[in-house]
Each structure stands twice: as structure tokens, then as C-alpha cells.
């Protein structure tokens, strides 16, 4: 029997644990992306007229649809990413559900018109306000590592603010992308308001070429740079989340049992394929040996396997080629004097994309393992003399996404947190702030710019307009034409009245300042 031909215009949904192709999904031809943006723009014009409380009601319906479909959603995340099912529930499903819950309750207040008080005497006859208006169409180019949490938590604030969305989901997780579009449609959002386009880099490029009003990108530095350059040519504003090299600072007074468990989880969750992974472990000298021993002991107890096995702690990498890259990083560190305490090898007996959770110590600051984003299950540790050295090393990176500090002294932890050049710092926890709806997410440097989540992320989705109402509409303004020496003297008197120190100076210049208000313009 002849094999069934697979059309070339499809995307395979591949299980990373086995390499098995589970299904094929239609690619979006790049030429159809512009049409999707055009339809989204038409839908958005009507959607923007919908009262925000009705938009919030649709988010509640979306949450109900996600809850009702949570088993299918979790299974799909596991099948397409390989992560353990408990991680799909805690990270992907929880974050997506909580975003819908939070913004359904808080979007109206967050976008309410704000009064702008005026401090200047020259503006006291004016009433100012700040209003928030939708941008139009938001282009979202998302990643595969959290194929529900990341795009859904970005789409939700976009639509509740009155925008439409065209989202390119990852070509590694095409079924997740298909389910996202279906969820919004079944929750009663208008046709074409939320469109998911499927494909690789060519489709992402087509999203930018279609000129949405903003682009939100999550992915690698190299791809993010290309996205930023393409958007800059069209003056499209962007939000870029480009990954991290997060430092975990462990002080000598930290609880080593708890902190070592955090380091192991923070390095290996989602097989280390997390922008917020613990990638640089900086431990004070007096406890570094014991801490490394604890991390190695706990790592050896972890169960490596497919995500659909409930006993699995660590799943596979997303694709086989990532295994070789991790091997190269470990070898480079070894050549520079690092020592592997456990792991460090591929596990082809389990499947094509498995790599052992690895503890490696004495990692040189110049090693690739210290400089490049690892994005894999490697716990890389350096010993530091004190907190000052830890802060210096933590800040010595082009990445600046997040970090954590571990200490029994909360005041010391907060003081160190303030010295770290990152977008977020957790004291005595790691990574989980991503699941806190009120916490903004994003960094600077090679980690990108802009924010998602929280009110800061919501405000990325709107145009802020200042509106000024004059209370004396029939009064000509002092600074209007005609000019002359008398107005110059009055203007100088006004400056001295407004900005000179002391009540005496104000009184001496009050009469001259008033001449700016009561004068004949002569026009």
C-alpha cells in the first residue's frame, strides 16, 4: 500500500518525548496574513464600541470555556511540549485562567479616565484628563515553551482594552494555536477579532509586513532583533521578551534545604526551557560545598521521562538538536575547569530529546554556560566570597530579566534586590512571580523592552490621550499675539512670581505678573 502523502503546506504536531508526529495542521500562507489583519481591523472598529463591562463578561465566558476544556488543553500542551502534566496545569492553565479572571474584574478600573491635576498657576484655568483608547490590531508572535500561558495572557489584555489580535503561535505547537482561536470563538468573541496564524519565520515576517499597530514578541535575542528592525522600518512599536540568564544569589544564612530544592526546581522545571530559569547560581563560599552536595543529591532523585507519565519530574527538550547544544555547553565549561557532579549526558534510551538534569560547579564566568542562555536542565554554580561579589557577577550579563535572593534576613534580601539590574527580583522564591497577575513581566538589555502582565502590560495595549478643557473659553490667552516690550516685562515678572523663592519676591512681582492676564492684545 502506498504511503499517504503529506501536503507540504502543513505543520507537524510532534511529541518531543518520542519524535512521533501526532497530527498535521494547515500552514497559513504568508499572503493570507495581510487579509487576517485587514479582517481583524474591521472587527476591531465594532469591538471598540462595545462597553468595557461587556468585554469583561466575554472574558468570564472565556474562563469557563478554558475550565471546561482543561483536560484537552493540558493533554495538548503535554503532547506538543513534552512537559509533565502537572506543569501544564500549574503553569500554562493556571496563568491563562488567572489572566481571564483578573482582567474580567479589574480592566474597567484600570482603564477608567483619570483626572490630571495641574500644579502650575498658568494652567489652573484648565481641566485635564487622561483617556485610554485601543491601538487597533495587536500582532503577537509567541513561543512554544508555554504555548497557552504566554499567548493567552497577552491576548486577554489586548482584547479587553478594545483591540483585535492576530497571533502567530509557534510552529512547534500548532494544535495549541488552533485551540486558542477556538476558545475565543466559542466564548462569544466576534468573528476575526482573535485570529491565529500558523507557520514559521515567514509567517512572523508577514505579520510585521501587514503593519499591525503594535507587535508583541516572545523568543530569542536573534529573532527579536530581526523583529525589532523590521518593525522599526515601519515605525511599529514593540514589546520584546527575549529571554534571560537569571541569577540566584544564595547567602550563607539561607535555609539550605529549602533553597537547594528551589534551585533544583528553578533550574529544571519545563526541562529548563524557561526564560526565568535559574541559570547562574551564585553561592557564598562558606556554604557552597554543602549546597552543591544537596543539589546533586536531589537532582539524582528526579525521574526523567515523558510528560504523560504522572511519575515524571523532568521531561524532554523540545527537539533533538537542542541536546547537542547542551552537550557543547557542558564540554566548554569542563575545558575551563568546571566539574560535573551529576548528569551531563543525553539519554537516547528514553527518546531523541532527553538530556539528564545536570549539576556543574566551579563554572568560569567566561564559559559559554555563564554567558549564553542555556534553556536546558543545567544547574551551573559559582562560588562567591560575599554578597557584593554575587551582585557584581549577577549584573555582569547582557541579559536582565529576573533574579532571586535567598537569605534569612528579609531586609538584607530587599537591599540586595534593589542593587540588581533586572525587571523583577524574588526574595526566597523564584520564577513564580510570572503567575502573579499584578506583577509586570519584562526586562532590559538583551532581555528586551516593554512589559506584559499587570497594569503595565495592559497599558502597552492602549493609546494614552490627554484631553484639556479650558474653563475660560472666551478669554484670549496671555501668551498669544501681539508681542512687545510690555509683554516681555510682564512675562519676566510672572517667572519671578512663579519660581522665585520666598513670599517677599512673590509679592513684589505679583502686580507685574497680573499684567499677563489683563492686557489688550491689539488684534
223 domain residue, yes or no: yes
Is pLDDT above 80 for 521? no
Q: How far apart are CA 429 and CA 432, in angstroms?
A: 7
Phi, psi of 458 (to 5 degrees): -65, -40
Say if residue 476's pLDDT is above 80: yes
Average pLDDT taken over every residue of the chain: 95
- Sheet with 114-116, strands from edge to edge, namely 114-116, 126-134, 462-470
> 149-160 and 174-186 helices cross at what angle (nearest 10)?
30
In a domain, 99, yes or no: yes
Residues 228, 291 within the same domain:
no
| Locus of grid cell 499584578 | 438
- 163 torsion bin: left (phi>0), alpha (psi -120 to 50), beta (else): beta
- pLDDT (tens digit, 9 = 90+) per residue, 242-264? 999 999 999 999 999 999 999 99
Q: pLDDT digits over 202-225, tens only?
A: 999 999 999 999 999 999 999 999
> What local confidence, expressed as pLDDT, does residue 523 receive?
66
Q: Decide: 134 and 43 in contact? Cβ < 8 Å.
A: no
At residue 276, does pLDDT exceed 70?
yes
- Asked if residues 60 and 108 have their Cβ atoms less than 8 Å apart, the reply is no
d(CA 98, CA 82): 23
Q: Which of 181, 241, 356, 373 is catalytic?
A: 241
Same domain, 494 and 428: no
Neighbours of 435 (CB within 10 A): 16
Under the banding of pLDDT at 50, 70 and 90, the label for residue 489 is confident
Asked whether 383 and 338 are in contact (CB, 8 A), the reply is no
Q: CA 80 to CA 315: how far, in whole Å?
A: 12
Does residue 517 carry a pLDDT above 50? yes
pLDDT (0 to 100) of residue 8: 58
The DSSP symbol for 88 reads: I
Query: Does residue 44 register a pLDDT over 60?
Result: yes
Query: Looking at residues 117-133, what average pLDDT do you find?
Result: 91
> Do 201 and 267 reside in the same domain of the chain?
no
Q: Which domain holds residue 380?
A: 246-434
Shared-domain flag, residues 320 and 203? no
DSSP bridge pairs for 12: 24
Q: Are 121 and 232 found together in one domain?
A: yes
Kindly state whether residue 9 falls inside one of the protein's structural domains.
no
Q: Are residues 409 and 506 both part of a single domain?
A: no
Please give the C-alpha separations between residue 2 and each of 5, 10, 24, 61, in angstroms, as whole numbers: 9, 20, 19, 46
Tell me, what's the pLDDT at 486?
85
> In this structure, is residue 470 part of a structural domain?
no
pLDDT tens digit sequence for 426-460: 999 999 999 999 999 999 999 999 999 999 999 99
Task: Report whether 9 contacts 26 (CB < 8 A).
Answer: yes
Give the whole-angstrom CA distance, residue 209 versus residue 271.
34
Rounded mean pLDDT of 139-152?
98
Q: Are residues 70 and 162 in the same domain?
A: yes
Indicate whether 73 and 164 sit together in one domain: yes
**Domain containing residue 88: CATH number:** 3.40.605.10
Share above pLDDT 70 across residues of the chain, in percent, rounded to a whole number: 97
Considering 275, 295, 356, 460, which one is annotated as catalytic?
275
The verdict on residue 448 lying in a domain is no
Residue 397 lies in a domain: yes
Residue 414 lies in a domain: yes
Total domains in the chain come to 3
Answer whether residue 278 shows pLDDT above 50: yes
pLDDT for 505 beyond 80: no
Active site residue 275: yes
Q: What is the pLDDT of residues 345-391, one digit of tens each?
A: 999 999 999 999 999 999 999 999 999 999 999 999 999 999 999 99
The answer to whether residues 346 and 493 belong to one domain is no
* Same domain as 250, residue 235: no
Please give the average per-residue pLDDT across 107-122, as a whole number.
93
How far apart (Å, rounded) are the C-alpha atoms in residues 41 and 155?
15
C-alpha grid cell, residue 205? 515576517
Please indicate, yes or no, if residue 110 is contained in any of the structural domains: yes
Task: Examine the domain organization and report whether 67 and 191 are in the same domain.
Answer: yes
Encode 387-427 in three state secondary structure. HHHHHHHHHCCCEECEEEEECCCHHHHHHHHHHCCCCEEEE
CATH code of residue 304 = 3.40.309.10
Q: Are residues 201 and 52 in the same domain?
A: yes
Question: What pLDDT, on the 0 to 100 scale, is given for residue 3?
Answer: 40
Amino acid at each position: 500500500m502506498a504511503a499517504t502523502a503529506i501536503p507540504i503546506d502543513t505543520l507537524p504536531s510532534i511529541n518531543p518525548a518520542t519524535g512521533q508526529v501526532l497530527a498535521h495542521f494547515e500552514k497559513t500562507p504568508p499572503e493570507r496574513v495581510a487579509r487576517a489583519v485587514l479582517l481583524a481591523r474591521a472587527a476591531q472598529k465594532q469591538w471598540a464600541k462595545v462597553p468595557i463591562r461587556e468585554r469583561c463578561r466575554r472574558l468570564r465566558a472565556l474562563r469557563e470555556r478554558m475550565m471546561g476544556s482543561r483536560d484537552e488543553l493540558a493533554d495538548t500542551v503535554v503532547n506538543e511540549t513534552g512537559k509533565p502534566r502537572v506543569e501544564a496545569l500549574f503553569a500554562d492553565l493556571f496563568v491563562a485562567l488567572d489572566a481571564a479572571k483578573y482582567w474580567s474584574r479589574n480592566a474597567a478600573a484600570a482603564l477608567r479616565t483619570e483626572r490630571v491635576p495641574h500644579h502650575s498657576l498658568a494652567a489652573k484655568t484648565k481641566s485635564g484628563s487622561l483617556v485610554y483608547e485601543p491601538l487597533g490590531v495587536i500582532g503577537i508572535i509567541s513561543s512554544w515553551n508555554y504555548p497557552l500561558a504566554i499567548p493567552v495572557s497577552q491576548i486577554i489584555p489586548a482584547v479587553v482594552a478594545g483591540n483585535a489580535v492576530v497571533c502567530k503561535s509557534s510552529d512547534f505547537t500548532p494544535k495549541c494555536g488552533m485551540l486558542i482561536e477556538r476558545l475565543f470563538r466559542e466564548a462569544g468573541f466576534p468573528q476575526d477579532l482573535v485570529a491565529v496564524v500558523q507557520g514559521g519565520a515567514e509567517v512572523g515576517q508577514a505579520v510585521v509586513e501587514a503593519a499591525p499597530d503594535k507587535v508583541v514578541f516572545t523568543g530569542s535575542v536573534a529573532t527579536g532583533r530581526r523583529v525589532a528592525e523590521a518593525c522599526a522600518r515601519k515605525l511599529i512599536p514593540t514589546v520584546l521578551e527575549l529571554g534571560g540568564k537569571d541569577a540566584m544569589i544564595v547567602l550563607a544564612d539561607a535555609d539550605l534545604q529549602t533553597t537547594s530544592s528551589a534551585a533544583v526546581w528553578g533550574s529544571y522545571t519545563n526541562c529548563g526551557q524557561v526564560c526565568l530559569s535559574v541559570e547562574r547560581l551564585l553561592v557564598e563560599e562558606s556554604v557552597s560545598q554543602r549546597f552543591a552536595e544537596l543539589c546533586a543529591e536531589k537532582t539524582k532523585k528526579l525521574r526523567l521521562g515523558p510528560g504523560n507519565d504522572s511519575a515524571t519530574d523532568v521531561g524532554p527538550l523540545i527537539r533533538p538538536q537542542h541536546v547537542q547544544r547542551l552537550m557543547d555547553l557542558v564540554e566548554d565549561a569542563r575545558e575551563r575547569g568546571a566539574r560535573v557532579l551529576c548528569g551531563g549526558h543525553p539519554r537516547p534510551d528514553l527518546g531523541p530529546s532527553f538530556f539528564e538534569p545536570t549539576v556543574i560547579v566551579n563554572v568560569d564566568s567566561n564559559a559559554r554556560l555563564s554567558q549564553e542562555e542555556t534553556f536546558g536542565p543545567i544547574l551551573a554554580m559559582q562560588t562567591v566570597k560575599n554578597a557584593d561579589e554575587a551582585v557584581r557577577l549577577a549584573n555582569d550579563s547582557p541579559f536582565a530579566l529576573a533574579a532571586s535572593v535567598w537569605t534569612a534576613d528579609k531586609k538584607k534580601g530587599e537591599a540586595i534586590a534593589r542593587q540588581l539590574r533586572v525587571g523583577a527580583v524574588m526574595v526566597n522564591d523564584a520564577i513564580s512571580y510570572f503567575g502573579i497577575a499584578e506583577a509586570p513581566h519584562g526586562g532590559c538589555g538583551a532581555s528586551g523592552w516593554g512589559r506584559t502582565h499587570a497594569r503595565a502590560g495592559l497599558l502597552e495595549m492602549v493609546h494614552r490621550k490627554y484631553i484639556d478643557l479650558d474653563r475660560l473659553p472666551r478669554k484670549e490667552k496671555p501668551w498669544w499675539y501681539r508681542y512687545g516690550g510690555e509683554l516681555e516685562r510682564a512675562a519676566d515678572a510672572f517667572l519671578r512670581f512663579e519660581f522665585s523663592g520666598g513670599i517677599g519676591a512673590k509679592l513684589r512681582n505679583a502686580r507685574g505678573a497680573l499684567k499677563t492676564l489683563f492686557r489688550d492684545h491689539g488684534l
